Amino acid sequence: MKIAVLPGDGIGTEIVAEAVKVLNVLELPLEMETAPVGGAAYEAAGHPLPEATLKLALQADAVLFGAVGDWKYDKLERALRPEQAILGLRKALGLFANFRPAICYEQLTHASSLKPELVAGLDILIIRELTGDIYFGQPRGRRTAVDGHFPGSEEAFDTMRYSRPEIERIAHVAFQAARKRNRKVTSVDKANVLETFQFWKDVVTEVHRDYPDVELEHMYVDNAAMQLVKAPKKFDVVVTGNMFGDILSDEAAMLTGSIGMLPSASLDKNNKGLYEPSHGSAPDIAGKGIANPLATILSAAMMLKFSLNQPEAAARIESAVQSVLAQGLRTADIWSEGTQKVSTREMGDAVVAAI
């Protein structure tokens, strides 16, 4: 089983190193090959997603990804900026299904901005469509406005779009995921304003006929942003488009108060996937050895489960993470009075020891 390891920028290198260490201790036939991505790849090869990196990702059975981005690349033209690498990988690999769990760990409930009773035991799964919507829709660009409020003036524009098969396949993914959980799907749209999301709502409703055992509710995106704050535990699986999913999955992750713990998976139609922590590259703390590697380690566990068919190895990692939390070990981001502050590497070592 071949894994493309793409550490990227900022804390990416440090956290991916710990995940690789954990994978190595499992004694599975894993072949790991590392390549640069993001700003690191731009420095090394003049492009955030060099051909060699893309080729490696295409050939591998799964991709373990760290994080990309740094303020120092803000001035580069868009096509060369680090985040284009992640957009390019999603598109080239056809990674249309993004799984973003928002889980509140018992020992970390206090870290949330929300009152403990609202988040204790929180376990929701946001499924974000990842290769369609306004992220990739054409045409887009700048032009002279021919209509609107100020015809003749300069304007910029983008195209939002979803086709029936794109909505169908992500809806199936969501209903099937709900069957393994609490059998409830909330489909988030803006059908009251957007043609794209009226269509989304219609198609999700049609697909739902195949899943009479799963409850489907429709919710407007503005209301979803509110209900996540008000009563997050009312959700089970949330399915939505690329743009709304970007916003709501980050909001939900932050509700837990421990985004440093949250993994993510982005899958293609054959369950090949890219796995990365939900948090970013955090350039402000890069190189200090204090980043939390657990989201990346848990992403590696998701990889074993979803793409490499090794559910037992995944479970070993997950219970090792539970056990280091129970031991009271904490990186700075989740530290609180009475627990033991550890470095990135110490946390990785503790997970290895617990396995």
Ligand X SMILES: CC(C)[C@H](C(=O)O)[C@@H](O)C(=O)O
Q: How many residues bind a second copy (CB under 8 A)?
A: 67
CA-only gyration radius of the chain, Å: 20
Q: Among 91, 123, 184, 246, which one carries the catalytic annotation?
A: 246
Question: Quick one: tokens of 243?
Answer: 């743009």
Bridge partners (DSSP) listed for residue 40: none
If one asks whether residue 87 binds ligand X (CB under 6 A), the answer comes out as yes
Contact region for a second copy (CB under 8 A) — 41-49, 98-106, 174-182, 186-194?
A: 186-194
3-class DSSP assignment, residue 7: strand
Half-sphere exposure of 347 (CA within 13 A, CB side): 35
Select from 192, 319, 336, 340 the one that contacts ligand X (CB under 6 A): 192
The per-residue DSSP string of 17-53 comes to: HHHHHHHHTT----EEEE---THHHHHHHSSSS-HHH
Select from 3, 86, 126, 347 the one that contacts ligand X (CB under 6 A): 86
If one asks whether residue 336 binds a second copy (CB under 8 A), the answer comes out as no
Q: Among 55, 222, 234, 269, which one carries the catalytic annotation?
A: 222
Query: In this structure, which amino acid lies at residue 266?
Result: S
Residue the block writes with tokens 């056990």:
323
Pick from a second copy, ligand X, none: which does 113 bind, CB < 5 to 8 A by kind? a second copy
If one asks whether residue 147 binds a second copy (CB under 8 A), the answer comes out as yes
Select from 251, 268, 346, 349 the one that contacts a second copy (CB under 8 A): 251
Question: Quick one: tokens of 239?
Answer: 């399915």
Select from 247, 285, 352, 355 the one that contacts a second copy (CB under 8 A): 247
If one asks whether residue 193 binds ligand X (CB under 6 A), the answer comes out as yes
Select from 223, 309, 319, 340 the one that contacts a second copy (CB under 8 A): 223
DSSP state of 2: E
Paired sense of beta strands 329-330 and 31-34, if any: unpaired
Q: Are 314 and 304 in contact (CB under 8 A)?
A: yes
Binding site: what residues are annotated? 90, 100, 128, 222, 246, 250, 280-292
Contact region for a second copy (CB under 8 A) — 174-182, 194-202, 298-306, 331-339?
A: 194-202
Q: Among 123, 158, 250, 268, which one carries the catalytic annotation?
A: 250
End-to-end, the C-alpha distance of the chain in Å comes to 21
Question: Quick one: tokens of 334?
Answer: 């989740």
| 135 catalytic per annotation | yes
Q: Among 21, 135, 184, 233, which one carries the catalytic annotation?
A: 135
Nearer Cβ to ligand X, position 123 or 246? Answer: 246
Site for ligand X in 211-230 (CB under 6 A): 222
Q: Are 307 and 273 in contact (CB under 8 A)?
A: yes
Distance, in Å, from the CA atom of 202 to the CA atom of 129, rounded to the nearest integer, reads 16
If one asks whether residue 225 binds a second copy (CB under 8 A), the answer comes out as yes
If one asks whether residue 234 binds a second copy (CB under 8 A), the answer comes out as no
∠ CA 151-155-157, nearest 5°, is 120
Distance, in Å, from the CA atom of 108 to the CA atom of 305, rounded to the nearest integer, reads 25
| 246 catalytic per annotation | yes
| 275 catalytic per annotation | no
Site for a second copy in 105-124 (CB under 8 A): 113-115, 118
Question: Quick one: tokens of 263?
Answer: 């993994």
Nearer Cβ to a second copy, position 280 or 348? Answer: 280
Distance, in Å, from the CA atom of 231 to the CA atom of 85, rounded to the nearest integer, reads 35
Active-site annotation, residues = 135, 190, 222, 246, 250
In the complex, which residues of this chain contact a second copy (CB under 8 A)?
78, 81, 83, 87, 113-115, 118, 131-132, 134-138, 140-142, 145, 147-150, 153-166, 190, 192-200, 221-223, 225-226, 228-230, 243-244, 246-251, 253-255, 259
